[in-house]
Amino acid sequence: MRITLPDLCYEEVLDLQKVIDSGWLTKGPYVEEFERMVKDYMGVKYAIAVSSGTAALHLALISLNISSGDEVIVPDFTFVATANAVEYTGAKPVFADIDLKTFNIDPEDIRRKITSKTKAIMPVHGFGQSADMDEIRKIAHEHNLFIIEDAACAMGAEYKGEFCGVMGDLGCFSLHPRKILTTAEGGIVVTNNDEHAKLIERLRDHGSIKKDGRVYFNHCGYNYRLSELHAVLGIAQMKKLNDIIKKRQKAAKELSALLSGIASLRLPEISENCQHIFQAYVVLLNQEVDRSKFMSYLKSKDIETVVGNYALHSQPFYKNKYKYTPGDVSNSFIAGEKSVVLPLYPQMTEEEINLLAKTVKSAL
């Protein structure tokens, strides 16, 4: 039995050939319908579909006029796209440490990293669980900072009854195949701000504006549109999003019960007042466990794993550009060296969950 990570769920996908035959490959009713479904689900004024989660972050930053000379505080333990999007604007990503219990950004370290150049905070809702948004919003209010939520992994996750992505100025989601909601590739920006939304809508399509039956290019925009084909997949996924979340939560609960009590393994923790949707089931190995050997053992048993995420300050580009030494952001460095993503997906059977738990115990 092979247990793998991907969980593409396209059983109810509409007939893609109809979309191709319609001629609506870049602009048409399916993108608009997908945006409407996301907007209604989240109770937000605007949902703007784009070509990737990275594009969503980039456009959100531009809409806030973040540019060279500015600083944006991001968690150090995240996928590189979070920081790269800041780099695209010419601004500087400033790395804050995380809480090892949740893998989310530490509000106290945010406070320590604020300077006169800080313009925004970009919290990441790691692996499907919200960051501490009460504290983050308090800090942003005190220092007059924008909040861009990197909710790439958190479609449907909640914090005190609010959806991740709608608690800041803008929220950005990824629709990559490993995300809760996938369009094979894509992203989406949500906001309640008219000005930001209109600018992002223009910038995703080369900066174009339609007026009097003609197209004008008032901005130097980007080719960041989501295609109709991808939107069709998103529509099918939105119809079963809540069911996908419930199945992932059930599988995570069962797996945690089977793995509890292992001294060398820290299991995912669910913060109070949070709905964790488990886009990924991430464990933290103790220092004495060799992660490479652990992962290799599982691979030898046909169980696929990947590293949890990356300590960005220790990655060559950021280490060299900003003169970091690996370990400077201490909790993030530990997570970057010792975290592992175990397989978890909606179609996972009890037999697969039991086998996974048994193999992990055997490996340790």
With 60 as the cut, is the pLDDT of residue 25 above it? no
**pLDDT for the residue 209:** 87
**pLDDT for the residue 26:** 53
**pLDDT for the residue 74:** 98
Which CATH number is associated with domain 16-238?
3.40.640.10
Q: Which of 38, 8, 12 is nearest to 156 (CA)?
A: 38
Rounded distance between C-alpha atoms, residue 83 and residue 61, angstroms: 11
Enzyme catalytic residues = 179
For the chain, give every residue range classified as CATH 3.40.640.10.
16-238
Token pair belonging to 68:
């060279």
This prediction has a pTM of: 0.92
DSSP 200-219: HHHHTBTTEEEETTEEEE-S
Rounded distance between C-alpha atoms, residue 276 and residue 129, angstroms: 5
CA distances from 150 to 117, 137, 168 (A): 21, 14, 10
C-alpha Rg value of the chain to the nearest Å: 21
CA distances from 39 to 180, 233, 359 (A): 17, 16, 42
- b/e for 135-151, b at 16 or more Cβ within 10 A? bbbebbeeeebbbbbbb
- CA-CA-CA-CA torsion for 326, 332, 335, 336, nearest 10 degrees? -40
For the chain, give every residue range classified as CATH 3.90.1150.10.
241-363
With 50 as the cut, is the pLDDT of residue 344 above it? yes
CATH superfamily placement of domain 241-363: Aspartate Aminotransferase, domain 1 (3.90.1150.10)
**pLDDT for the residue 213:** 83
User: What one-letter code names the amino acid at 310?
Assistant: Y
Share of the chain above pLDDT 70, in %: 93
User: pLDDT tens-digit profile of 72-94?
Assistant: 999 999 999 999 999 999 999 99
User: pLDDT tens-digit profile of 280-300?
Assistant: 999 999 999 999 999 999 999
3-state secondary structure of 196: helix
User: pLDDT tens-digit profile of 29-56?
Assistant: 999 999 999 999 999 999 999 999 999 9
**Average confidence score pLDDT of the chain:** 94
